[in-house]
């Protein structure tokens, strides 16, 4: 029963959100999407203990949507996550193929010199491990 109550609440609230969104201008709709993408991108990095500049991620995402931006210099990590999140938003209905997965990996890791293989599966026999945290202070777990 409890799950049904949550589902009903979700459906009511999503219906209100959809109804409200229908009254937005195209630009306001893009701004809302930019704000949602920015929040998700920031949270994604925070999970790994990395903190991105929200204004930079938002500026890069705004640029991806053809909106006005300031002319700030944006760090590579903020550009990469904004590019990937924008691509995922714009192509959510495409099948997740090997090529699409490789493309996401390329977007996140382009310009990194500490990685040997970008945009492909592992090519070595070393054991898999989860590496989180900053590049200068990685946390390894098997």
131 DSSP assignment: E
Contact 107, 128 (CB under 8 A): no
pLDDT tens-place string over residues 3-48: 899 999 999 998 888 888 888 888 888 888 999 999 999 998 888 7
- Write down the pLDDT at residue 141: 67
**Distance between CA atoms of 142 and 129, rounded to whole angstroms?**
4
**Distance between CA atoms of 31 and 61, rounded to whole angstroms?**
10
- Write down the pLDDT at residue 1: 66
State phi, psi for 75 to the nearest 5 degrees.
Answer: -65, 150
Query: pLDDT band at 82, cuts 50/70/90?
Result: very high
pLDDT tens-place string over residues 94-128: 998 988 888 888 888 877 777 777 777 777 787 77
Question: Average pLDDT for residues 81-89, to the nearest whole number?
Answer: 92
Helix (H, G, I), strand (E, B) or coil at 138: strand
* 104-32-42-97 Cα dihedral, nearest 10 degrees: -20
What is the reported pTM?
0.70
């Amino acid at each position: 029963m409890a799950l049904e109550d949550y589902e009903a609440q979700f459906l009511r609230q999503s219906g209100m959100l959809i109804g409200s969104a229908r009254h937005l201008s195209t630009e306001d709709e893009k701004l809302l999407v930019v704000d949602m993408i920015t929040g998700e991108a920031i949270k994604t990095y925070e999970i790994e203990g990395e903190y991105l500049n929200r204004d930079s991620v938002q500026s890069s995402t705004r640029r991806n949507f053809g909106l006005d931006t300031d002319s700030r210099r944006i760090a590579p990590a903020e550009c990469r996550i904004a590019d990937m999140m924008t691509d995922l938003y714009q192509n959510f209905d495409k099948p997740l193929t090997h090529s699409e997965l490789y493309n996401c990996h390329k977007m996140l890791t382009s310009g990194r010199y500490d990685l040997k293989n970008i945009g492909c599966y592992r090519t070595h026999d070393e054991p898999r491990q989860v590496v989180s945290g900053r590049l200068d202070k990685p946390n390894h777990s098997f």
